[in-house]
Amino acid sequence: MSNKQQANLLEVRGLTVDYLTEKAKARALENVSFKVAQGSILGIVGESGCGKTTLMLALLRLLPQAGRIVAGEVLFNGRDLLRLSENDMRSLRWQDLAIIFQGAMNALNPVKTVEDQITEVLLRQNPNKTSAAKRVDELLEMVGIGRNRKGQYPHQFSGGMRQRAMIAMALACNPKLVIADEPTTALDVMVQAQILELLLQLRAELDLTILLVTHDLGVVAEVCDTALVMYGGVIAEHAPIDAIFNAPSHPYTQALLGAFPDHTKPKTQLLSIPGYPPKLDALPPGCRFAPRCSQVIDICQLKTPSLIKVSDGFASCHLLETL
């Protein structure tokens, strides 16, 4: 049977997250729903504070103390992660799901060698030391770090090498889904290119499914299959990247593209988006993007738009409903 349609590895339904602070309750994610096909790379973009990291942490049930998942389902291979026991979730987290945290390359333990840190992760799953030692070599080779350097400490590595070591650690137990939160943001373009190439190559070799958080639309265009554009805790648009870049449906996606520099089109003018993203404790009524939207109509300030099907994907905008 030649079924090109890949099954969904991940399906998120109605995910809603609050942060409880002393003063108030802030809704950081509202009714977030999307599917991710096995073996694909989903880019997650949006301005700072729109909830990208919160979403990733919620999927893995790793939210900080103040965070609460108040509604939703996270179906991984059909199983709802939100209903698993803490124990089952913990073992799944290392075996099937892996995360490379934002700023992770600075999170390696400075007093342990890279080899020891990766070994530790492996022994947690399988206490056989010989097989762990072999696997460390394999993993380091996979991410392009020479064996002769495995006994070194993190400070002896450049930023790019530390990030590779983090990727090796994330891959230690053959995960099916890898979440990478801004894995290249602090790195130089050349090192970024090396890391992105590595992720693409690993995806091809290991059939990984990857969620890639970034605020660089260029990175999304270069490596992702689909993209999720977030704004103020909700999904503005979710579509294959051809649609996102060539026929964006949501005015926010359009505005982001207009503000993003493209060195192949140096003559076009960059257009800023007036105003700032909403504060979670002072959300505007109706559509959250309405106060900054150049195409705003009356209903936008009254009613929250829901995520609807548009030609190639999904978007939440009243203008698309009236079409």
Partner 1 sequence: MSLIRVQNLHKHFSLSSGLGKNLVVKAVDGVSFELEKGEVLALVGESGCGKSTLALTLMHLEEASAGQVLFNDNDITTLKGKALKNLRRDIQMVFQDPYESLNPLMTVGAIVEEPLKVHGLGKSKSARQEMVKKALEDAGLNPAESYLNRRPHELSGGQRQRVVIAAALVLEPSLVIADEPVSMLDVSIRAEVLGVLERLKLEHSVAMLFITHDLGTAAHFADRIAVMYLGRIVELGETQDVLENPQHPYTKALLSVIPVPNPKLRRKHIILQGDPPNPINIPGGCRFHPRCPVAIPTCSKQEVALKHININHKAACLLLDHSA
The answer to whether 93 and 87 have CB atoms below 8 angstroms apart is no
CA distance 154 to 105: 9
Helix axes 159-171, 189-206, angle to 10 degrees: 20
Orientation angle between helical segments 114-125 and 129-142, nearest 10 degrees: 120
114 binds, among Mg ion, ligand ATP, partner 1, none (CB under 5 to 8 A by kind): none
Rule CB under 8 A: say whether 295 interacts with partner 1: no
Q: If you search the block for the tokens 């602070």, which residue do you land on? A: 21
Site string for Mg ion, 20-59 (x = CB under 5 A): --------------------------------xx------
Interface pattern 229-248 for partner 1 (x via CB under 8 A): ------------xx--xx--
48 binds ligand ATP (CB under 6 A): yes
Q: Which residues, in sequence order, are CB contacts of 246 under 8 Å at separation 6+?
A: none
Q: Is 160 in the site for partner 1 (CB under 8 A)?
A: yes
Where are the alpha helices (H) located in 9-108, listed in sequence order? 52-59, 86-95
Per-residue interface string for the shown chain with ligand ATP, residues 49-78, x marking contact by CB under 6 A: xxxxxx---------x-x------------
Pull the structure tokens for residue 313: 């994907």
Single residue of 39, 153, 218, 247 touching partner 1 by CB under 8 A: 218
3-class secondary structure, 309: strand
Q: Are 308 and 315 in contact (CB under 8 A)?
A: yes
Residues 6+ apart with CB under 8 A from 113: 150, 151, 152, 153
Site string for partner 1, 14-53 (x = CB under 8 A): ---------------------------------xx-----
Between residues 117 and 184, which has the closer beta carbon with respect to Mg ion? 184
| Count, residues in the chain | 323
Identified binder of partner 1 from the candidate list 1, 111, 190, 282, rule CB under 8 A? 190
**CB contact at 8 A, 250 and 93:** no
Residue 52 or 135: the one with the smaller Cβ distance to ligand ATP is: 52
Per partner kind, with CB cut-offs from 5 to 8 A, the member of ligand ATP, Mg ion, partner 1, none near residue 286 is none
Compare residues 168 and 255 and give the one whose CB is closer to partner 1. 255
Residue 270 interacting with partner 1 (CB under 8 A) = yes
100, 178 in Cβ contact below 8 A?
Answer: yes
Selection from 313, 277, 276, 307 nearest residue 15 by Cα: 307
- Residues 177-236 touching ligand ATP, rule: CB under 6 A, are 215
Closer residue to ligand ATP in complex, CB, 102/125: 102
Q: Which amino acid is at 21?
A: T
Part of the chain binding partner 1 (CB under 8 A), chosen from 23-31, 117-125, 134-142, 255-263: 255-263
Which residues contact Mg ion by CB under 5 A? 52-53, 102
Q: What are the residues binding partner 1 (CB under 8 A)?
A: 47-48, 158, 160-161, 188-194, 197, 215-222, 241-242, 245-246, 255-264, 266, 268-274, 276
